[in-house]
Amino acid sequence: MGDLDGRVALVTGGARGLGAATAKALAAKGAKVLITDIRDGAETAAAIGGAYLKHDVTSESDWIAAVAHAKQSFGGLDVLVNNAGVFWVKPLMMETLEDFRRMQQINVEGVFLGLKHAMPAIAERAPLWDGGGAVINLSSVAGLVGAPNLIAYNASKGAVRLMTKSAALEYASMKVRVNSVHPGIIDTPMMAEAAQVIEGATGQGANAIRTQFAQRHPIGRMGRDIDVANAIAFLASDAAAFVTGSELVVDGGMTAI
Ligand SMILES: NC(=O)c1ccc[n+]([C@@H]2O[C@H](COP(=O)([O-])OP(=O)(O)OC[C@H]3O[C@@H](n4cnc5c(N)ncnc54)[C@H](O)[C@@H]3O)[C@@H](O)[C@H]2O)c1
């Protein structure tokens, strides 16, 4: 018996990184998982007995198809993890309006469309579960505190933090809980790619950059994907039945300073 037996979960950006680790953690707790991504996630889905659908979170028609797919394949939807996102480091003077908008389109509008199109399906089955339905939105420590050269990312993750609270208040009476998760620097392909860019710009070696990433956390290491996946699995489960509109910080103490 798993904490999520009988639940159906949709994880966006689930082909790799935190999304793939989350899909695995939810499946291990008994959920049927639909992985969606613009990247191929068929292998990841097959490994956990789930399904994969190509889905761009910026496309409204893709969202409608994704929710329909969850209903057709698994009978409904109980958990949505709005995980898909992009990240880059760019000084304010280098950021273009086009790129700024592109990041908001994926990180913010993608979450908005997810809430809009998945909520009715989640609310429909919410009475079945003690903890109701659950939405978990990936924000970041960058949704809590500012950082230089992150103008677009700070904007996007700050928006996700408060969109979470708005949806949580609107859907509390319908038994759908909505929470945000705020990871520190987690060792995923996204961070490996960011490290490469920093390496190119500064000439520092990869090991030096990884050490600096690790040192940002009082716990003394970078986060692992499972650290975040475990937090998401908790928020998805009935163990979090009284948790909504909250911010779960998974940052090794980074923002406690
Ligand atoms: N890794 C970190 O340190 C960290 C820290 C805080 C927050 N986050 C957030 O966690 C989430 C996952 O990050 P990650 O590190 O696993 O990143 P990642 O780049 O390793 O994986 C992200 C996935 O999202 C997918 N994706 C990108 N654009 C998409 C789109 N338009 N539609 C559908 N899928 C799309 C990518 O194909 C990829 O598979 C992101 O929202 C990120 O901002 C990550």
- For 3-42, the pLDDT digits (tens) are 999 999 999 999 999 999 999 999 999 999 999 999 999 9
Contacts of residue 214, Cβ cutoff 8 Å, sequence gap at least 6: 220, 221, 222
Q: CATH no. for residue 70?
A: 3.40.50.720
Q: Please give the pLDDT value at position 60.
A: 98
Please report whether residue 125 resides in a domain. Answer: yes
Which atom of ligand 1 is the closest one to the Cα of 142?
6
- Taking CA atoms, 23 is separated from 9, 28, 79, 119, in Å, by 8, 9, 11, 19
In a shared domain, residues 239 and 124: yes
**Strand 51-54's sheet: what is its strand order?**
51-54, 32-37, 8-12, 79-82, 133-138, 176-183, 247-250
With beta carbons less than 8 A apart as the criterion, state whether 30 and 5 touch.
yes
In a domain, 1, yes or no: no
Tally of domains within the chain: 2
133 in helix, strand or coil?
strand
- Distance of CA 104 from the midpoint of ligand 1 (Å): 13
Whether residues 52 and 157 fall in one domain: yes
Asked whether the predicted pLDDT for residue 168 surpasses 70, the reply is: yes
Answer yes or no: do 124 and 229 share one domain. yes
186 CA: nearest ligand 1 atom: 3
188 lines ligand 1 (CB under 6 A): yes
The H or E element spanning position 79 is strand 79-82
The whole-chain average pLDDT of the chain stands at 98
| Ligand 1 near 189 CB (within 6 A) | yes
Is the domain of 180 the same as that of 190?
A: no
Structural domain includes residue 162? yes
User: Residue with the nearest Cα to atom 29 of ligand 1?
Assistant: 84
What pLDDT score was predicted for residue 45? 98
Query: Domain check: are 68 and 165 in the same one?
Result: yes
> Tell me, what amino acid is at 196?
Q
What does the pLDDT read at residue 233?
Answer: 98
Question: Is the model's pLDDT at 55 over the cut of 70?
Answer: yes
Query: Does the pLDDT value for residue 1 go beyond 80?
Result: no
Question: What are the φ/ψ torsions at residue 84 (nearest 5 degrees)?
Answer: -55, 135
Q: What pLDDT score does 219 carry?
A: 98
pTM here?
0.98
The answer to the question of residue 107 being in a domain is yes
Q: Is there a contact between 150 and 142 (Cβ–Cβ < 8 Å)?
A: yes
Write out pLDDT tens, residues 195-222.
999 999 899 999 999 999 999 999 999 9
User: For residue 88, what pLDDT is reported?
Assistant: 97
DSSP element (H, E) containing 189: helix 189-202
Best of 60, 80, 86 for a ligand 1 pocket test (most atoms within 8 Å of beta carbon): 86
Ligand 1 atom nearest residue 19's Cα: 16
Report the pLDDT value the prediction gives residue 76, as an integer from 0 to 100: 98
Q: Does residue 199 have its Cβ closer than 6 Å to ligand 1?
A: no
* Residue 18 and residue 73 in one domain: yes
Distance of CA 208 to the CA centre of its chain: 28
Q: Is residue 167 part of a domain?
A: yes
Tell me the best of 11, 164, 188, 228 to mutate to test the pocket of ligand 1, counting ligand atoms within 8 Å of each CB and taking the most.
188
Give the position of tokens 């699995």: 233
pLDDT above 80 for 242: yes
- What CA–CA distance (Å, rounded) separates 237 from 18? 18
**129 and 210 fall within a common domain:** no
| Same domain assignment for residues 80 and 197 | no
Residue 228: pLDDT band with limits 50, 70, 90: very high
* Structure tokens belonging to residue 248: 């779960």
| Same domain? 216 vs 163 | no
Q: Is residue 229 part of a domain?
A: yes
Mean pLDDT of 99-107: 98
Q: Which residue has the tokens 């908790």?
A: 234
DSSP label at residue 18: H
Residue whose CA is closest, atom 43 of ligand 1?
85
Domain that holds residue 197: 186-222
17 & 140 share domain: yes
What is the residue with the minimal CA distance to atom 8 of ligand 1?
140
User: Is 249's C-beta closer than 6 angstroms to any atom of ligand 1?
Assistant: no
The reported pLDDT for the residue numbered 73 is 95
**Does 90 share its domain with 44?**
yes
Q: Compute the average pLDDT of residues 232-246.
A: 98
Q: How far apart are CA 106 and CA 155, in angstroms?
A: 12
Q: What is the mean pLDDT of residues 143-167?
A: 98
pLDDT, residue 167, reads 99
- Chain-centre distance for alpha carbon 195: 20
Ligand 1 contacts CB of residue 86 (under 6 A): yes
Helix (H) or strand (E) holding 232: helix 225-236
Instruction: Tell me the best of 62, 150, 190 to mutate to test the pocket of ligand 1, counting ligand atoms within 8 Å of each CB and taking the most.
Output: 190
Give the number of C-alpha atoms closer than 13 A to the C-alpha of residue 76, restricted to the C-beta side: 16
**Contact status, residue 83 vs residue 35, Cβ threshold 8 Å:** no
Tell whether 150 and 212 lie within a shared domain: no
* DSSP state letter for 204: -
Nearest 5 degrees, angle CA 181-CA 186-CA 189?
115
Q: Which residues are catalytic?
A: 153
